[in-house]
């Protein structure tokens, strides 16, 4: 049985001031050109320690034994607003380890995200402006594919040429702090509709991406009882990017929703390993979610996220999460 980087849909009791949709840290998060505007410098954040434990016995389709997840999530954001100027910088760290009967007596990494973002907005009008945005994303711990017995790996180089088969019960895929994903964007945003009940935003930008992944590997798929593994490589991309998102609240603000998509076409890439059609070359990130607020201290949220970076993995990667959140808010304003 294979167990690597698995996110199980479920309900977690967490102490945080962030909903699941805010944890995704997409472009729109923490930008204050819509909604309440606070002049001056402000700082907010949260620390989350979710712990999940279960014991299964004689359950249909579930292995007997102990199930344990230990996790910690830290988010902090610094904002500065003055007139038409709006600047925000955020740090997000999420770590989770899981133990199941599939891999006995061993905690396996199930979540590992370190993300730093900074963005600057200049409001040309109440409904539009220009922006600059940069993001760094990586993982802290090594990525390892783990099984309860020896399996056969089919190894390919970065050009997808066969290196040969190997048998292991585990295989290191990525080093600590690798791969590193950097992106920078300069462009224009418009907000045709801006209301707490419904907000719609669109954006277009010149985008620059750098992916540092030499000597790293990716598990492509399982085929004919073999695990296909391919070497990754470092590459650089430049091209146009567009995006759109909606968000809002319903039923006297007790229910919230959001959905968004961003796409970038790498018009130039170095090195270029394969020729793709326009559609196949697109880098796509999308997310959607809905939340219900029981009180100012508790909410239930569902979050869906998907992404595709063709030179990392051709197919879309999907994630579904349901969270029961207990909120502890903290926010400090330093004044204008």
Per residue in 228-287, pLDDT (tens digit) is 999 999 999 999 999 999 999 988 888 999 999 999 999 999 998 788 899 999 999 999
Question: 3-class SS at 88?
Answer: strand
Q: What is the mean pLDDT of residues 53-76?
A: 67
Q: What is the mean pLDDT of residues 175-200?
A: 92
Residues with Cβ within 8 Å of residue 228, at least 6 apart in sequence = 153, 154, 156, 219, 220, 221, 222
Residue in 5, 22, 31 with CA at minimum distance from that of residue 189: 31
- Look at residue 30 in the predicted model and tell me its pLDDT: 40
The verdict on pTM exceeding 0.85 is no
CA angle 257, 262, 265 (to 5 degrees): 170
Per residue in 121-173, pLDDT (tens digit) is 998 988 899 999 999 999 999 988 888 889 999 999 998 899 989 999 889 99
Surface-to-core class of residue 270, CB atoms within 10 Å of its CB (0-12 exposed, 13-18 middle, 19+ buried): exposed
Centroid of chain to Cα 323 = 15
Instruction: Name the residue with tokens 């997000």.
Output: 92
Domains in the chain with CATH codes: 2-335 (2.40.128)
């Amino acid at each position: 049985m294979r167990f690597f980087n698995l996110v199980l849909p479920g309900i977690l009791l967490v102490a945080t001031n962030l909903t699941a949709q805010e944890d995704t840290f997409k472009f729109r998060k923490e930008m204050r050109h819509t909604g309440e505007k606070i002049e001056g410098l402000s700082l907010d954040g949260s620390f989350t320690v979710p712990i999940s434990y279960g014991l299964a016995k004689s359950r249909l389709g579930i292995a007997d034994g102990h199930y344990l997840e230990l996790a910690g999530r830290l988010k902090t954001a610094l904002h500065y607003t003055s007139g038409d100027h709006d600047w925000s910088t955020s740090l997000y760290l999420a770590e989770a380890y899981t133990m199941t009967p599939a891999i006995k007596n061993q905690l396996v990494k199930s979540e590992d995200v370190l993300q730093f973002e900074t963005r600057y907005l200049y409001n040309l009008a109440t409904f539009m402006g220009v922006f600059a945005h940069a993001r760094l994303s990586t993982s802290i711990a090594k990525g390892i594919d783990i099984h309860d017995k020896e399996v056969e790996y089919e190894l390919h180089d970065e050009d997808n040429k066969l290196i040969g088969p190997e048998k292991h019960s585990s295989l290191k895929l990525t080093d600590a702090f690798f791969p590193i994903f950097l992106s920078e964007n300069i462009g224009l945003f418009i907000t045709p509709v801006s209301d707490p009940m419904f907000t719609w935003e669109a954006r277009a930008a010149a985008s620059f991406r750098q992916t540092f992944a030499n000597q790293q590997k990716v598990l492509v798929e399982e085929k004919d009882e073999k695990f296909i593994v391919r070497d990754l490589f470092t590459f650089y991309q430049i091209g146009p990017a567009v995006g759109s998102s909606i968000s809002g609240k319903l039923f006297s603000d007790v229910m919230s929703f959001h959905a968004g998509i961003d796409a970038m076409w790498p018009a130039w890439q170095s090195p270029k390993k394969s020729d793709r059609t326009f559609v196949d070359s697109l880098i796509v990130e999308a997310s959607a979610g809905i939340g219900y607020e029981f009180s100012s201290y508790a909410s239930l949220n569902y979050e869906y996220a998907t992404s595709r970076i063709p030179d990392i993995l051709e197919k879309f990667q999907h994630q579904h999460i349901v969270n029961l959140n207990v909120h502890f808010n903290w926010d400090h304003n330093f004044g204008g």
